[in-house]
Copies of this chain bind each other. A is one copy, B any other.
Amino acid sequence: MARPPTVPDNERDMSYGIVTEQITRFETELRLESGRILGPIEIAYETYGTLNEARSNAILVTHAWTGNAHLAGRYSEEEKRAGWWDEIVGPGKLLDTERYFVICSNVIGSCFGSTGPTSINPKTGKRYNLTFPVITVRDMVSAQALLMDRLGIERLFCVLGGSMGGMQALEWATQLPDRVASAVILAATPRPSAQAISLNAVARWAIFNDPNWKKGEYRKNPKDGLALARGIGHITFLSDESMTAKFDRRFSARDGQFDFFGQFEVERYLNYNGYNFVDRFDANSFLYLAKALDLYDVSSGCESMDEAFAPVSAKLQFFAFSSDWLYPPPQTEEMVASLERLDKQVEYHLITSSYGHDSFLLEHETFTPLVQAFLDKVRF
């Protein structure tokens, strides 16, 4: 019998196909929310589908904390896994690439091609490390706007994202209201709560504690601290229910229950995933983006949430997930209530799901038809 292909044929058929990452450089300096200046900057991005003549079919997908521009498709036939949200992008999929021009760019501050703490500061010839300025979600969106200018996109048909991606969609709708016709916001929050901040705080602390972090001046990622930080984050992305379903209280078959270093299955899983993460994400980027998450407040610079939402002209669709304890549904509902008070075009769906905050990545079947119907109603 022939060996099965690495990628199942049916999946390959549905996928966008081969994509190329592009990196574009802006000589312009970006004035950050902090007042500091960042530049020149580079932005890594990918596009799928074709921009129509009216330039009216562009959808920007905004990624979460540790995401990147590789939204869908494969860089080569050999690449085992397609982009991170391949399930919803491609011909005939939710973000139908026969119809839309889909863009995904890596946020500034990250480590996947866009300017961040691992980049070389052109003024010094050295890596920024901690000389990189603190950035905010608003700054990420300012950088994305430069990219849209360059692509000749005056107005986006839609911005869609979950978690930190949802925060970016909110910033597009509130800060650049003329440039976006609609936004889909999943598993986001108007501002993380004290508990959410405290969980990021202990994740930061784990990195600060690692002597290999060297105040950001490491050559090799400080693996123990970063793996632990990721382990803490991982807990916040899941739910007690999903962890119980997957691991319950099972003890690792390799360990004795009464061994001092014996591990529960859930413990081993967090450990294993934490150390895997070290190979693909930079510790300083992790810290800068954690900070951006904690600082996020849709009402920043305004007296109230209503004031923040007043300029919105886009149609907005919100999704919250019942088991998301990091950004729980009432936080989304607070935004929806504000938008309803302001008579904005807003739609809200509470999805019952056991997967916690990560539901937005795992439960796409539940929201796909709803987003589909929403996009069909958007008139450019």
Contact = CB atoms under 8 A, between A and B. Distances in A.
Interface in A238-275: 238-240, 243-244, 246-249, 257-260, 262-264, 266-267, 270-271
A304 interface: no
Given A225-B209, A232-B202, A267-B197, A191 B295 contact: no
Contact of A206 (B134, B195, B206, B211): B206
Contacts of A195: 235, 238-240, 243-244
A133 to B, nearest CB: 7
A193 interface: yes
Nearest to A291: B260
Nearest to A211: B211
A34 interface: yes
Contacts of A228: 202, 205-206, 209
A231 interface: yes
A3 B218 CA distance: 54
A210 interface: yes
Interface residues of A, number: 56
A81 interface: no
A206 B35 CA distance: 36
Interface in A292-341: 294-295, 297, 325, 328
A134 B225 contact: no
A210 B210 CA distance: 7
A193 B235 CA distance: 13
A103 B197 CA distance: 40
A150 B38 CA distance: 72
A248 B201 contact: no
A36 interface: yes
B201 A264 contact: yes
Interface string A15-43: 00000000000000000011110000000
Interface string A200-227: 0110011001110000000000001100
A375 interface: no
A260 B204 CA distance: 11
A194 interface: yes
A263 to B, nearest CB: 8
Contacts of A246: 194
A224 B201 contact: no
Given A198-B270, A211-B211, A258-B36, A240 B205 contact: no
A244 to B, nearest CB: 5
A257 B235 CA distance: 27
B225 A194 contact: no
A153 interface: no
A64 interface: no
A350 interface: no
Contacts of A191: 249
A146 interface: no
A199 interface: yes
A339 to B, nearest CB: 21
Contacts of A248: 194
A165 B268 CA distance: 28
A194 B247 contact: yes
Q: Count chain B CB atoms within 10 A of each CB in A130, A201, A244 and give the residue with the most.
A: A201
Given A198-B266, A201-B270, 16 more contacts: A33-B258, A36-B258, A134-B262, A194-B243, A194-B247, A195-B239, A195-B243, A199-B235, A201-B263, A202-B235, A202-B270, A206-B206, A209-B209, A211-B211, A249-B297, A257-B295
